[in-house]
Structure 1
Amino acid sequence: MNGAILVFWVIVALCVVKSAAFFALARFDPVNRPALWFSGAFLAAGISFLGEIVLATGLATGLAPGPTRMVIAVAMVIMFVLIAHGIARRYRIDMPAGGGLAIVAASALLYYLILDLPRADFTRQMLYQIPYALLSFLALSVIARARSKAWYDWLFMALFALIGLHFLGKPFLARWAGGVGAEPSAFSATLYAGLSTASGAILLLILSAAGLALLLADTAGRLIRRAERDAQTGLLNRAGFSTHADRHLLTLAQAEKPHEERRDVALTLIAVNRPAQPRTREQSVAALAALILSVAPRHALIGRMADFEFAILAPGSNLFAARHTAEELRKKLRARLGEMEGGLTLSIGITEREPGDLYADLLARGLWALEEAERAGGNCVRLAAHSQFDPLGIRQG
């Protein structure tokens, strides 16, 4: 077994493993539909390289080498079409399935027409590589059409550009390396075969690893978001709200400079009197969550902290802006009381950020203000300014 055939076997194994990995990811996360396209793509690539082994070892002599060469070429085209469709699904770019079928059919016709041309012919070699290069640039163009791009999207674009140039450069590499072999079975013994398969294996490995990492990150992000959300209302749950609030306030505290004007952040805690009927409770919670979303500032964090407790962390809002929002919420709630059974009322406690405050500091003052509202009989708003509160929970006069 020469080096080129060994590399072919390595690539086949790689393709099977990657195809299985993408398929397992799609089964684990049914929302991750692009993983199925990638799974099919690497399975097609494995078939193409398996055909190369059949051709290079002479097994195709009794199996008609012409059809084997067609399978090799078309399977690789199918791989790139499936990858392009998977990327389009991942970036939410419209790409009709009929277009992919048309590309496969046109490429198959091209390969059939050039099948019997001399292997050493430069034009034949270039025509053979053009569909792969164009499909690589197609994948690049799909990512380029995405509305917003992260740094890794630019790396993917660069990778597909490199793959496209790699295919266009192959005929020139073949000429420099002494040709592709007079017969298909002689291909694996050429210098070009070693260089071409090695470079192709490296690019395929990078593409498969990068694609798997991207789709795994998508699934991980979905799982994290799902873990941070309350299933009934769609708001952040207690853990999710605390994590994001902690992170935001820690960032502000670290960026703050001495004698710098403070950056306004207000924390509003909301407690609801509980309706007696369980059915009414569920309806009330969903309705109240919708009301809070309608009055809260656009970039605020909103969380369901317990069954009938909510919180709003509003960057850019001070104590009085948050009070205005709270009164607006109470006003909207009164307007909807006729639609809700149980006569809901709210107890609301509000505090604002002081320089150096972390989430724990705001939460302590906010809970004190909320307790004051509940002690006052509920259905009211109470404020906790920093100058009116100490760590022991004693109001300062």
Structure 2
Amino acid sequence: MTGAQFILAINLFVAGLLAAAFLTVAAYDRRQEPARWFALGYIIGTANFLSEFAIATFGTSIGLVLAAFASFLAALVMLNVGIARKYGVPVPWAAMAVVFVISVATCYFIQDMSRQSFMRMLLYQSPYFIMQAIAVGIVAQAKARSTLDNVLLALLAASALQFLSKPFLFRALGGTGDSPDQYLATEYALFSQSMGTVFAMAVALMLLVILVRDVLSDAYARSETDMLSGLLNRGGFEVHAAAAMHEANRLGVPVSLVISDLDHFKSVNDSFGHAAGDRVIVTFAGFLRSAMAEHHVAGRIGGEEFAILLPGTNLVAARLFAEGARNAFASLAIEGMPATKRLTASFGVAELAGGENIADLMARADKALYLAKNSGRDCVKIAPRPGGRRSGDDKGAAISLV
């Protein structure tokens, strides 16, 4: 076995492993459509290596040459589709179809040219360059790119250029042999296959790293998310709220917390069923999302209890926010509920004091909410600062500004 044949065998084995790896990612998370396209690309890529082996073993034929060329080009097309799906960019089907058809036809016609022709090699390698350049363009169109995405962009650009460099390497290394079946015995074949392996592995591993990153990030986000409301769950809320409080303290801006509880929610479940109760939860969560700013943090912290942290908002402004939310929600119609049925919510508001953590702030806002529930519901109560006292109030008790 020649050195080039050995590299080709490694390529075949690695392509199979990579296809299996991408299929594993796709099986673990069925929403990872790009992984299926990547797996298909590497499965098709194995046909290229098998065709190269067939040429070396059984001799050349126009059919095998075209199969080797078309299968590798098709593999690049599949990778481009997966990359476009990954980055939310429209798949350039028309451009890739035109390149594919013209390239296969060109490959057929150049078979009569001398194998030592620089132009022949340039025409053979250019379609691979163009297809990888399309991948570069796809990633470049992504609206948001992390460091890993930029590394992938650079690897794809380098991979595209290595295809364009092959005609020059072909001339420097003595050509590709007098016939296709002699190709694997040439120095050029050894270098070309090795270089192709390095770039193919680098691109594939970076794609795997990016997909695994996305899977882990998604799993982490789901662990912090309440599935019914789509808001953060209690644990996720506390983590993100603590981070937002730390940033607000660094900037020297106030922070307030609003905690709300749906009034008489148990009666909704008892009278209209749990499906109706779920719709109420979903409706209130959607209302909170529409009312909050991008830097606010909202979560469902209990069955019918919600919290929203308002960085940059003092107690007076937070109370106004809560009053507006209370009035707006009371006027909302709930799908599946009688037209005359209106639901209300009670609110407790607290402003962060020096030395407090998220647990302390939530405890004070919860006291204010408790007072609102015991004051007839459908109202807003605020909590004084720690140690604050109003005439007739217990130390630290919630009070009303109404």
TM-score of the aligned structures, taking structure 1 as reference length: 0.89
Going from structure 1 to structure 2, the CA distance change for 1:371 and 1:110 (only over 3 Å counts) comes to same
- From 297, 300, 310, the equivalent of 1:314 is 310
Report Cα offsets for 1:146-184 as digits up to 9, x if no partner.
223222222222111101110111111122222222222
Give me the whole-angstrom Cα distance separating, in 2, the residues matched to 1:293 and 1:211: 33
Map 1:1-397 → 2, pairs under 5 A: 1-56=1-56, 59-61=57-59, 64-252=60-248, 256=250, 262-273=252-263, 274-278=265-269, 279=273, 280-336=276-332, 344-355=343-354, 357-388=356-387, 394-395=395-396
Q: Which amino acid aligns with 2:21?
A: A
Asked if structure 2 preserves the Cα contact closer than 8 Å seen for 1:262 and 1:355, the reply is no
Give the gaps of 5 or more residues in structure 2. Answer: none
Shift of 1:81: 1.1
Give me the whole-angstrom Cα distance separating, in 2, the residues matched to 1:340 and 1:357: 44
Q: Which amino acid aligns with 1:200?
A: G
Shift of 1:394: 4.2
Give me the whole-angstrom Cα distance separating, in 1, the residues matched to 2:304 and 2:235: 16
Asked if structure 1 preserves the Cα contact closer than 8 Å seen for 2:326 and 2:345, the reply is yes
Report Cα offsets for 1:281-302 as digits up to 9, x if no partner.
3333233223323333343111
Report Cα offsets for 1:238-279 as digits up to 9, x if no partner.
2221222123334455xx3xxxx7222211111122241422
Report Cα offsets for 1:188-227 as digits up to 9, x if no partner.
2222222211111111111111111212222333333333
Asked if structure 2 preserves the Cα contact closer than 8 Å seen for 1:348 and 1:381, the reply is yes
Report Cα offsets for 1:341-386 as digits up to 9, x if no partner.
7664322111122345432232222223223333434332222243
Give me the whole-angstrom Cα distance separating, in 2, the residues matched to 1:283 and 1:30: 27
Identity %: 30
Give me the whole-angstrom Cα distance separating, in 1, the residues matched to 2:245 and 2:191: 54
* Worse-superposed segment, 332-341 or 96-105: 332-341
Asked if structure 1 preserves the Cα contact closer than 8 Å seen for 2:7 and 2:194, the reply is yes
Asked if structure 1 preserves the Cα contact closer than 8 Å seen for 2:260 and 2:345, the reply is yes
* Secondary structure in 2 matching 1:386: coil
Shift of 1:340: 6.7
Give me the whole-angstrom Cα distance separating, in 1, the residues matched to 2:378 and 2:281: 17
Give me the whole-angstrom Cα distance separating, in 1, the residues matched to 2:153 and 2:284: 45
* Worse-superposed segment, 354-363 or 65-74: 354-363
Asked if structure 2 preserves the Cα contact closer than 8 Å seen for 1:353 and 1:362, the reply is yes
TM-score of the aligned structures, taking structure 2 as reference length: 0.88
Q: Which amino acid aligns with 1:395?
A: G
Give me the whole-angstrom Cα distance separating, in 1, the residues matched to 2:341 and 2:395: 34
Asked if structure 1 preserves the Cα contact closer than 8 Å seen for 2:18 and 2:204, the reply is yes
Q: Which amino acid aligns with 1:289?
A: A
Give me the whole-angstrom Cα distance separating, in 2, the residues matched to 1:155 and 1:124: 32
* Secondary structure in 2 matching 1:276: helix
Shift of 1:232: 2.2
Asked if structure 1 preserves the Cα contact closer than 8 Å seen for 2:248 and 2:255, the reply is no
* Worse-superposed segment, 294-303 or 191-200: 294-303
Q: RMSD across aligned C-alpha pairs, in angstroms? A: 2.5
Shift of 1:112: 0.2
Shift of 1:387: 4.1
Q: Which amino acid aligns with 1:148?
A: A
Give me the whole-angstrom Cα distance separating, in 1, the residues matched to 2:339 and 2:364: 31
* Secondary structure in 1 matching 2:307: strand
Asked if structure 1 preserves the Cα contact closer than 8 Å seen for 2:353 and 2:386, the reply is no
Asked if structure 2 preserves the Cα contact closer than 8 Å seen for 1:60 and 1:68, the reply is no
Give me the whole-angstrom Cα distance separating, in 2, the residues matched to 1:389 and 1:378: 24
Asked if structure 2 preserves the Cα contact closer than 8 Å seen for 1:250 and 1:358, the reply is no
Q: Which amino acid aligns with 1:354?
A: A
Asked if structure 1 preserves the Cα contact closer than 8 Å seen for 2:245 and 2:311, the reply is no
Give me the whole-angstrom Cα distance separating, in 2, the residues matched to 1:24 and 1:125: 37
Going from structure 1 to structure 2, the CA distance change for 1:39 and 1:371 (only over 3 Å counts) comes to same
